[in-house]
């Protein structure tokens, strides 16, 4: 691959996602060095903020090559915990996005009545109808059903590179109790956890579930962020000091990574703050946050793999895999949203954006 000053963002994404051959590691390192020295990345340069993440180079650096020697599973196995009577779209969006970006396997753990619906959207997903809501469980059965639900997920746990907890989960108290146990099991197994949607409702009221876990990522939207700030910092959202407040919040929750979604996505692990403000779409149709959580799961898994394989020689910054996953996921979603909007304008839907995740 030839690195040029004027290489545009599309070329970068395209080469990151659609690499055909695996260049040797030495060549990759050289490429990364050149990219860094030459400062490739038109759109990001234009953002001009010292906080702006070097997202195109990060995307390229952490995306694995399509190597014919790799076997199924090596590009990532993710699971989404979500999907109930009301919401079947959200877990589907998160899980299918993970596959479209390049994960090998994508599971969904949802309630019994959501499962056939989610399966009917796509034969690509592995759907487990294991979660239960209060309406289907008698008081006397709660204990053993809860144990069964947690065991069903736990037997798969070691195989997952990342869990996404919350898209379309709903807020049923019994279901959320079971999900608390699932988060605890993931933590014990050192599996990264992305908390989104109703998972944030659960965690905001039980901060101990993620507090001090460096492999936890929270992805709040405007409302979810407001509730988190009120609960943890005991104050209102302060947009005059958005960076400082986010930093304090992440620090206060023991160094979890927080991706605050909005016009510009802000990301902090309590040590640093980065932003992704590349052009997205003016459409705010529901489901874009779900694409984001599925995307972050894949990029986080890839970043962790790379960091482990590269034994600390990675020349991109930041080095924290959760930060890298958030930056890459955010940049890719925003680019896909912008491409979809070019085609569909006001009629752009989340499914259109998903179709653009790997587009040239």
Ligand X SMILES: NC(=O)C1=CN([C@@H]2O[C@H](COP(=O)(O)OP(=O)(O)OC[C@H]3O[C@@H](n4cnc5c(N)ncnc54)[C@H](O)[C@@H]3O)[C@@H](O)[C@H]2O)[C@@H](O)CC1
Q: What is the contact surface with ligand ATP in residues (CB under 6 A)?
A: 197, 221, 261-263, 265, 280, 284, 286-290, 292, 330, 333-334
Of these, 151, 235, 286, 360, which contacts ligand X (CB under 6 A)?
Answer: 286
Map residues 200-229 to x or -, x wherever contact with ligand X holds by CB under 6 A.
---------------------xxxx-----
Binding to Mg ion by residue 82, rule CB under 5 A?
no
Cis peptide before 318 (omega within 30 of 0): yes
Binding to ligand X by residue 259, rule CB under 6 A?
no
Give min distance, CB of 178 to ligand X, in A.
Answer: 16
User: Which partner, Mg ion, ligand ATP, ligand X, none, binds residue 168 by CB below 5 to 8 Å per kind?
Assistant: ligand X
Among residues 69, 34, 60, 92, the alpha carbon closest in space to that of 302 is found at 60
Q: Which residues of 61-97 are buried (b: 16+ CB within 10 A; e: fewer)?
A: bbbbeeeeeeeeeebbbbbbbbbbbebbbbbbbbbbb
Q: Which is nearer to ligand ATP, 49 or 190 (CB)?
A: 49
Which tokens sit at 245? 């407040």
Give min distance, CB of 289 to Mg ion, in A.
Answer: 3
Q: Parallel, antiparallel, or unpaired: how do β-strands 257-260 and 265-268 relate?
A: antiparallel
Per DSSP, the residues of 250-263 read HHHTTS-EEEE-SS
351-358 own/partner pairs: CB under 8 Å, 24+ apart? 353/281, 353/288, 353/291, 354/93, 354/96, 354/97, 354/100, 354/291, 357/17, 357/97, 357/100, 357/101, 357/291, 357/295, 357/332, 357/333, 358/17, 358/18, 358/100, 358/101, 358/102
Give min distance, CB of 329 to ligand X, in A.
Answer: 15
Among the listed ranges 21-29, 85-93, 326-334, 352-360, the one in contact with ligand X (CB under 6 A) is 85-93
Binding to ligand X by residue 289, rule CB under 6 A?
yes
Map residues 168-207 to x or -, x wherever contact with Mg ion holds by CB under 5 A.
-----------------------------x----------
Binding to Mg ion by residue 289, rule CB under 5 A?
yes
The residues of the shown chain that bind Mg ion, judged by CB under 5 A, are: 197, 289
The residues of the shown chain that bind ligand X, judged by CB under 6 A, are: 87-90, 167-169, 197-198, 221-224, 286-287, 289-290
């Amino acid at each position: 691959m030839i690195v040029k000053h004027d290489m545009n963002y599309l070329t970068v994404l395209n080469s990151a996602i659609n690499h055909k051959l695996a260049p040797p590691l030495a060549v990759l390192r050289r490429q990364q060095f050149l990219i860094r020295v030459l400062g490739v990345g038109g759109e990001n340069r234009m953002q001009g903020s010292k906080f702006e993440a070097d997202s195109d180079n990060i995307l390229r650096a952490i995306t694995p090559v399509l190597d014919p020697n790799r076997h199924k599973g090596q590009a990532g196995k993710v699971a989404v915990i979500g999907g109930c009577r009301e919401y079947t779209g959200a877990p589907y969006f998160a899980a299918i996005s993970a596959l479209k970006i390049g994960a090998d396997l994508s599971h969904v753990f949802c309630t019994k009545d959501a499962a056939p619906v989610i399966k009917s959207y796509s034969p690509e997903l592995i759907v487990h109808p294991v979660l239960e809501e209060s309406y289907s469980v008698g008081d006397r059965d709660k204990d053993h059903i809860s144990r069964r639900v947690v065991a069903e997920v736990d037997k798969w746990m070691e195989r997952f590179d990342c869990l996404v907890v919350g898209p379309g989960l709903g807020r049923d108290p019994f279901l959320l109790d079971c999900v608390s146990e699932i988060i605890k099991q993931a933590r014990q197994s050192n599996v990264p956890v992305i908390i989104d949607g109703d998972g944030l409702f659960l965690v905001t009221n039980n901060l101990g579930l993620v507090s001090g876990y460096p492999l936890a990522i929270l992805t709040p939207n405007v409302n979810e962020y407001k509730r988190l700030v009120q609960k943890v910092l005991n104050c209102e959202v302060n947009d005059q000091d958005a960076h400082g407040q986010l930093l304090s919040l992440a620090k206060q929750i023991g160094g979890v990574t927080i991706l605050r979604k909005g016009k510009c996505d802000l990301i902090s692990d309590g040590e640093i703050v980065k932003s992704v403000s590349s052009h997205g779409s003016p459409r705010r149709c529901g489901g874009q946050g779900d694409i984001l959580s599925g995307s972050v799961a894949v990029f986080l898994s890839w970043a962790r793999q790379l960091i482990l394989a590269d034994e600390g020689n990675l020349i991109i910054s930041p080095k924290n895999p959760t930060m890298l996953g958030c930056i890459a996921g955010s940049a890719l979603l925003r680019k896909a949203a912008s491409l979809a909007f070019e085609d569909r304008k006001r009629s752009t839907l989340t499914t259109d954006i998903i179709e653009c995740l790997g587009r040239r």
